[in-house]
Amino acid sequence: MPVEYAAFCELHRPRYLSYARVWLPDADEAADSVQEALCEVAVHWRDLLVSRNPTAEAWHILRSTVAARLRAETSAAPEPRGSGPADEDLAILHYVVGLAAPEIADVVGSDTANVAGRLRRALLHEPADW
């Protein structure tokens, strides 16, 4: 694997795992889903690097992988909406995982101002599903 991919995994794996653990409380299931997502990222690595936003594309792969695994176990899976993160994802990363807006922006491939604004909006909604 390219050094850049290894660095990407080193940076994002712990945060991805924290997110996956919210939806998949079984540690092995969460770790397997993150590994599956990172393998998918590896398969598409060259294409991701030339995309408009590689980090956002990788986040979409992770979210879709976690949702698919959860759907296999229950009907409470988060439904992927487009390629960007849902407000619910941002709220989970901030209020449950404990990441600050700049870290979230780095994980999901967005800018800090956008994340901060969407977190404020998410705070106004009831966090019933997470």
pLDDT score at 83: 45
Which pTM value belongs to this model?
Answer: 0.82
Write a three-state SS string for 12-28: HHHHHHHHHHHHCCCHH
Tokens of 18: 């924290």
pLDDT value at 124 more than 90: no
| Amino acid (one-letter) located at 123 | L
Domain at 3-123, CATH class: mainly alpha
pLDDT in tens, 83-120: 456 888 898 899 899 999 999 999 999 999 999 998 88
pLDDT tens figures, 24-57: 989 999 999 999 999 999 999 999 999 999 999 9
